[in-house]
A and B are shown apart, each in its own frame.
Chain A
C-alpha cells in the first residue's frame, strides 16, 4: 500500500529526510514516531502529493506520488498537522465542499455517516469557527475519511486534545486500521505503542529503528550496540565476546574481524570487551558505539511526552 524507497527531501541545503525506506501493508497501522523536526510531516506531505521529494520514490496504493499524483490523491485521506478548515463554513458545508472535490457518491448520506463515525452529527450545522480544538480535530478526521480512502495519513492526530478525546480518537483510528492502511505520526511514545501494529522511529530525517511496539520497547529500554573490530576471524571473536558478562548477543559484522555486539540495558560494557579481547592476545583495532543510541531518542520522546506543550 505504501512503498517508500530512498526518499530524500532537502529544504535549500538542509536535508529534512534522507534516504527513507519503509513500507506499509493493507490493514496495518504504522506509527511514525520521532521528536519534533525529525521529518515526519515532510514525509507525509510527500506521500500525500503535497510536495515532491528531492530524490527517491514513493508509491501509495500502487501509484507513484510524482508521476501519478492525482491517482494517489484520490486514494489517500490526509489529516494535516494543523487541521485546515474554513471557519466561515458550517460543518456540513465544509464536508460537502471537500466531498464534491473528491466526487464522493451519495454525498449527503456519506456526510451523515462520517459525522456519526466521529461523533459530530449533532454539530453538523455549527460554524467551523465556533468548534473547539477537539471538535475541529474530529472534523479534520471526518474530512479525511469522507471518500473511503484506501490509505489514511494522519499527522499528529491527537495533538491538542484532552485525555478523553485522545482515547476516543485512538479508538476511531484503531477501528479504521482494520480495513485500510493507516500511517500516523506522533511524538508520543505510549500512543505509538497503544495504537500501532508497527512503529518506525525517525530522527534527524532517517529511520533509526523499525519494529513492533513490543520489540521496540525492549530495545528502547536502554540496550546499546557496539561494533568491535579486531585482528582475528569474526567467528573466533563472536565466540569470545559471547562469554563477556553484559553482552546479550554477538554476531559477525560486515567484514572479517568485525562483530556487532548487543549489550544488556543500561550497561557500558566497552571496558570489559576491550580487556577481554586484549587479554585473549588479539589486537583490538576498533571499538565504538554503533551509531544511534535509541536510548537518547527515547529520552527525548519521554521528555516531550511529559511536557506535551513542547510538541508541535
Chain B
C-alpha cells in the first residue's frame, strides 16, 4: 500500500510541472468562467438568475470527456517510451500498485481542479435568494467525481497499451466517446436498447446524479467500470513483461 502512495504522490506532483495540466486547468476555468459570466450577466439584465449551481457542471462533463485522456495519456505510455518502466518493474512494486497508484495521482490532481470550480456555485448562492439547492449540487458533484474516476481509469488502462502518448490519447478518447454515444441507442425499446442504457456513461450520470438523485446502481456502474479498467491495466502491464 505504501508503494501506491509513493507512486500516486509522484504523479500528483508531476502535474504541477507539466504544461499539459496547466493548459487543461486554464482551458477549463476559462470556459467555465465564460459560461458563468454570461449566465450571471444576462440574469442580471433580466433581473432573474436561475439559482442552479449546476450551470457549470453540465458543460464540465463534456470538457472532461476530452480532458481526461490528456491527463492520463502519458501515465504509463511515457514510462514505456522512456525506458523507466524497466526501473519500476524491477523495483519491489506489484503491477497493480503501479497502475492504481498512477490512477490515484491523476485522480488527486483532477479532484483539486474540480474542487476549485465549487467557487461558482458559492458565488451564485450568495447572489440569489433563498440560494441554491445544496443537496442537488452535492449529488451532481459526487456523481461527477465517480464519473471522472471511471474516465481516468479507462485512460490509465489505454495508456498501458501504448508507447506513444498521442496514440493513448486518441484511443482513450474514442473509447470514452463510444461509451458516451451508446446512450443515444438507449432511447428505443427492446433488449438492445436496454443494454445500451446499461453501458451508457451519459444515462448513468445525467439521469440521476445530475438531478440530485443518489442511485446505488449508478454508483456501482462507475465504481465497477473503474475497477475493471484498472484490473485490465494491471493485466496489460503484466502481459507486456512477456512480450
Contact = CB atoms under 8 A, between A and B. Distances in A.
B14 A88 contact: yes
Nearest to B94: A70
Given A51-B242, A51-B243, A80 B83 contact: yes
B92 A50 contact: no
Contact of A50 (B14, B82, B90): B90
A257 interface: no
B93 interface: yes
B126 interface: no
Interface stretch (B2-10, B25-33, B159-167): B2-10
Interface stretch (A97-105, A181-189, A239-247, A292-300): A97-105
A85 B79 CA distance: 10
A97 B6 contact: yes
B166 to A, nearest CB: 19
B243 to A, nearest CB: 7
Given A49-B89, A73-B90, A78-B90, A97 B10 contact: yes
A45 B242 CA distance: 11
A51 B241 contact: yes
B115 interface: no
Contacts of A102: 91-92
Which of B14, B90, B242: most chain A CB closer than 10 A? B90
Interface residues of A, number: 25
Nearest to A103: B2
A84 B87 contact: yes
Given A84-B84, A85-B84, A88-B14, A76 B90 contact: yes
Given A73-B91, A84-B87, A52 B241 contact: yes
A112 B90 CA distance: 23
Could you tell me the dominant secondary structure of chain B's interface residues?
helix
A86 interface: yes
A197 B113 CA distance: 57
Interface in A66-92: 70, 73-74, 76, 78, 80, 82, 84-86, 88
Nearest to B93: A101
Contacts of A74: 92
B106 to A, nearest CB: 16
Contact of B243 (A11, A78, A82, A100): A11
B86 interface: yes
A48 interface: yes
B116 interface: no
Contacts of B88: 101
Contact of B241 (A50, A82, A86, A88): A50
Nearest to A49: B90
A80 B3 contact: no
Contact of B92 (A11, A45, A85, A101): A101
B17 interface: yes
A97 B6 CA distance: 7
A135 B17 CA distance: 23
Contacts of B10: 97
A51 B240 CA distance: 9
A221 B64 CA distance: 68
15 contacts: A48-B90, A49-B90, A50-B89, A50-B90, A52-B242, A73-B90, A80-B86, A82-B83, A84-B87, A86-B84, A88-B14, A97-B6, A100-B6, A101-B3, A101-B88
